[in-house]
Structure 1
């Protein structure tokens, strides 16, 4: 069975067993009332209420001066490319929200590697609370012997190396998701080589859990999920710890990012030095990678499953200040500060199965740009 097929089966199981107490209520308009629609372009950021209802302010394409005639082109493209959910927010307000097939607004979907953004922010929160420092050796929180390396080699790897994909662990193993000791061997000195290696990323969850002396899901729930009204949870899938939620919950996390860790006056991540480092180039090997965030507008980029460097911007059709969570099978969380936009896409792979960036990114934004032109 392919890895992506296993994900799909698990996602289906999660949909079936999800409790209604941990999902946003999927009410029909006549049951919940029609959410307010802005008739003038607001200048403030809207934060949807945390109550588990469908209430969420929207703004029309007409009010924004966007080209409504191009919307069907986008919907057709998304539908024919295996999309389940698609959301566009402007200043926190819903401009576009569309579900395809049998998928509904309250249904949960895997984020795959887009969930790395959550882990990166949790690491920053844990550092702010002085549970850890990202310059600490990973062994401080995993103990000695967490890998197949010598003690000296282990001690050279830091939390920051895990956040930036520069641990130097051997990526030529049969399974780069494997966190067993025999899969974690030395290949390069830390901070000297970039490779999209999922095993050391997954171990970050244990680092954070051990540093905070709590369960990883519990820490996430207390620090991010409950304060901003998200739902969903991390579930162990093979070696991976994968996040599942509704599309609207992903959109909430996007709003939190656009507001640099602040939610309607509540400080979720106060450390702006960490936030800026997280959403900007973190090392000089892959300029388009922060702390588990993909970055646009750089001179070059590297991709998962490759050691090659490619010249140019990661997604040419998007403003340079975009940063994103990009997951297997085209799970997308785009955040564009200059446009005050959050864009969410969930579904199956549009074309080939890729771990992060894909040609789908540029194609989506070509169609979005056509809509946003007056």
Structure 2
């Protein structure tokens, strides 16, 4: 059993950490450092040993994905350049699907196919799919105000925002997303969620934290990436269903998707699941989320998410709302819709992304899904975003050439 310090921080076997990091050092993974390199390579794959989690149940009758197609010799040189991309971006796992079949599956270091990896903000996109299911069931109207569904948020920044504005991150909230600033609201929320050591001045739980957030202007005028907004969506989901978010996600999405393994989601002291970043699952199962998007909400012969919701997501939002953002430095015509990134390129690309290099990249033209887990040292960086976009497009190009040959 792992030992703990007097302050409750988890101590792990240094040899076990070494196998994941590829480094020989004597160190412990704690709530203070598990998101920092090189500790994050172990921490991202063992989040349930650091933070309380709830189970997101799979369908016990589901089968593993089909076998891996070999890479032919004529394309080996091109794949070598992909290897360089994967190595330079600190990849832990990558699964590539084309036409619904696994065409590439790689694991790095000690990471294995059955290991779960934290998704970070890819979790946001999954939350929105769950929301889409409930909208399709007419339990939620996206034009309604948040306070209509969550009266406790009436006096908060979200009281006058619509569900649609929260979905598209156009709610104006006094919230800093600076992951390296200890005083930023994103770090305050991390502490409340159990992701970092808590301070006496912090909110009791995520519910209380969300009620304390204040407005920062008029809603609907510009894109503001705000992690707390996804947790507001999860609270709406809880109130309209009368269930915990993790249970709704299990019942409505995960157990119907044909996933091979249970997923996990971190929970705070009040039992609130960290919808904006706390899901952990296998790479194979994350790829199935991308396939669900390509298949217009269908999986296992049934419609899980309404096709109109998927189509609306993939069409994207208004690029004008994101003008001047770092996002549009990488994707000049980019927009954000239903918690998914829509670059606005001719191929109709859509992707989900999380800090430290978590991605679901979807290319409709080639019918390709790329699911990637990483342990990048930096949470976010413009250059890293550009490198990933270029790397994914290169992979798609190789697959298209292979299909044409």
Q: TM-score, normalised by structure 1?
A: 0.76
**Aligned-pair RMSD on alpha carbons?**
3.2
Question: Number of residues paired by the alignment?
Answer: 321
- How many Å apart are 1:343 and its aligned residue? 0.3
SS at match of 2:126: helix
1:320 is aligned, of 327, 330, 347, to 347
Secondary structure of the residue aligned to 2:335 is coil
* 1:195 matched residue in structure 2: 224
Quote the residue 1:255 is aligned against: 291
Question: For residue 290 of structure 1, what is the aligned residue in structure 2?
Answer: 337
Deviations 1:78-115 (A, max 9, x none): 13432110111111101110001100000000111111
Counterpart check, 1:353 vs 2:387: no
- For structure 1, the 5+ residue unaligned runs are 25-48, 299-318
Counterpart in the other structure of 2:13: none
What is the alpha-carbon distance in structure 2 between the residues aligned to residue 81 and residue 10 of structure 1? 15
Can you list the C-alpha shifts for 1:131-189, whole angstroms capped at 9, x where unaligned? 1111111112221445545xxxx542111111011111123594343352575111111
Residue 276 (structure 1) aligns with: 311
The answer to which of 95-104 and 122-131 deviates more is 122-131
* SS of 2:337 mapped into structure 1: coil
Matches within 5 A, 1:1-374: 1=32, 4-5=35-36, 9=43, 11-14=45-48, 51=61, 54-62=64-72, 67-145=75-153, 147-148=155-156, 154-172=158-176, 174-177=183-186, 178=189, 180=209, 183-230=212-259, 231-236=262-267, 240-241=274-275, 242-270=278-306, 272-283=307-318, 284-286=320-322, 287-297=334-344, 320-349=347-376, 352-354=378-380, 358-365=385-392, 367-369=394-396, 371-372=398-399, 373-374=401-402
Unaligned runs of 5+ in 2: 1-31, 178-182, 190-205, 323-333
> In 2, Cα distance between the equivalents of 1:138 and 1:355?
32
Question: Could you say if the C-alpha distance between residues 188 and 84 of structure 1 is closer, same or farther in structure 2, counting changes exceeding 3 Å?
Answer: same
- How far the C-alpha of 1:348 sits from its partner, in A, is 0.4
* CA–CA separation in structure 2 for the residues paired with 1:79 and 1:59: 21
Looking at structure 1, the residues matched to 104 and 214 of structure 2 have their Cα atoms a distance apart, in angstroms, of 46
1:176–1:197 Cα change, 3 Å: farther
| Separation of aligned partners in 1, 2:381 and 2:123 | 12
C-alpha spacing 1:322/1:366, structure 2 compared with 1 (3 Å) = closer
Runs of 4+, deviation exceeding 6 Å? 15-19, 21-24
Map of 1:42 onto structure 2 = none
Instruction: Tell me, yes or no, if the aligned pair for 1:176 and 1:197 is still in contact at 8 Å.
Output: no
Pick closer, same or farther for the CA change 1:148–1:125 going to 2, 3 Å: closer
Task: For 2:230 and 2:52, locate their aligned partners in 1 and report how far apart those are by CA, in whole Å.
Answer: 26
